[in-house]
Amino acid sequence: MASRMTARRFAFVLATTAFLTAGSCDGGSTIQAVPDWGGGDRSPYVPEGYELAFNDEFDGQSAYALHLHVGADDPAKNGQDRANSSRIWETYFAGWNVRHLEGNNDLALKAGPDYRGLGGLSLSEHGIHLHELTDEGTIKLYARPTPSALLEQFEMPYLGGMISGENLHSQTYGYWEMRVRLNSISASHHWAFWLIPDDHAWPPEIDMLEAVGSNPSNQSDADYFFFNSILSDPNTDEITRVTPPRGKDAWYTVGFLWTKTDMRWFLDGQEVRSRPAMGGDKALYFLVSPEVGGNWVGAPTANTVWPTEAEIDYVRVYREG
């Protein structure tokens, strides 16, 4: 790449502030515009010989997604439910015990429907929705401004809907796949679909897909999808960026294959990135998080469109049989 800027993604480990590493580089690649396969029980891109180990179809029958609507974010209201079942999508960085990545200057507090901030009515009771299970069997995640009357209660200028699978499933080696589309992304918005270790150490980090709506230092970043791996600190891997062949708001199937010898990233079955594998002593879990503002994308502008919205059809993880 001709040039590169680096920011850093991390959070807090053992109450220590760390930083997120993301970045951009000039130039990008293009891939063939493959028609979306339309969804179903198994995509044509799953490697032969791999068997399903975990999935969430977000179809209303999911025991995991339903917790997003049943007090999963309010220990006082839902402590017994958490004691009975820890297998839920977390709606913040529970392992790090933080609700935004301060090291990135992220301005969006991550929370679920029953989060009450400093006390009072919950987000859902205020009519604020950051997660939506749709009739079409998808989940929509949103980030939006905090109403001015609620800034004191929630303490952050923006609110973001994330899902973290740290209590659902993690594994060493395998194939991770999701079908996703970005329905709305504009200035100051940053979506990350990533994998991190279940011991909450950092690095490593695998960025299955990242997308931003702006970069004051490199406006062309808004035109690309990003694929990355952070296996050391400081990071030495270059970011891969690819032009979305059907626009960002189309459905895409994103895959990541980790074997003992290599790591490979796929967009609609087409390999977009590869590198030698990291060691297999870390089990990884999947999460999705929106950021607003921050080191990469800059502050919201008068042209920022709200809310920003990502939609996921499914998350599936496979093991070699």
pLDDT tens sequence across 206-265: 999 999 999 999 999 999 999 999 999 899 999 999 999 999 999 999 999 999 999 999
36 belongs to a structural domain:
no
pLDDT-derived band at 3, boundaries 50, 70, 90: very low
Calculate the CA 222 to chain-centre distance. 17
Total of domains in the chain: 1
Q: Does residue 19 form part of some domain? A: yes
CATH number for 52: 2.60.120.200
Which residue is associated with the tokens 């062309």? Answer: 220
* Helix or strand (DSSP H, E) at 80: helix 75-84
What is the rounded CA–CA span in Å between residue 158 and residue 19?
A: 20
The verdict on residue 37 lying in a domain is no
Question: Is 187 within a domain?
Answer: yes
- The per-residue pLDDT for range 252-300, each reduced to its tens digit, is 999 999 999 999 999 999 999 999 999 878 999 999 999 999 999 999 9
DSSP structure string for 120-158: SS-TTTTT--SEEE-TTS-EEEEEEEPPGGGHHHH-SSE
Q: Identify any residues that bridge with 30 across adjacent strands, giving them in sequence order.
A: 243
| CB crowding 252-282: b at 16 or more within 10 Å, else e | bbbbbbbeeeebbbbbbeeebbeeebbeeeb
Residue 139 amino acid letter: I
In a domain, 137, yes or no: yes
Amino acid at 234: P
Residue 144 pLDDT greater than 80, yes or no: yes
Amino acid at 92: Y
CA–chain centroid gap for 264, Å, is: 18
- pTM, to two decimals: 0.88
pLDDT at position 81 over 50: no
User: To the nearest whole number, what is the mean pLDDT of the chain?
Assistant: 87
Q: What is the DSSP letter of 93?
A: B
Residue 9 in any domain: the answer is yes
Task: Check if the beta carbon of residue 6 is closer than 8 Å to that of residue 23.
Answer: yes
HSE toward the beta carbon, residue 78, CA cutoff 13 A: 20
Residue 194 belongs to some domain of the structure = yes
Structure tokens at 125: 């009771």
- At 51 the pLDDT is 98
Higher pLDDT residue, 286 or 80? 286
Which of 242, 238, 275, 244 shows the shortest CA–CA distance to 1? Answer: 238
**Domain of 257?**
4-31+42-320
The answer to whether the beta carbons of residues 126 and 142 sit under 8 Å apart is no
pLDDT interval class at 61 (50, 70, 90): low
Measured CA to CA, the distance from residue 156 to residue 192 in angstroms comes to 20
Spatial separation of the C-alpha atoms in residues 166 and 197, rounded to whole Å: 9
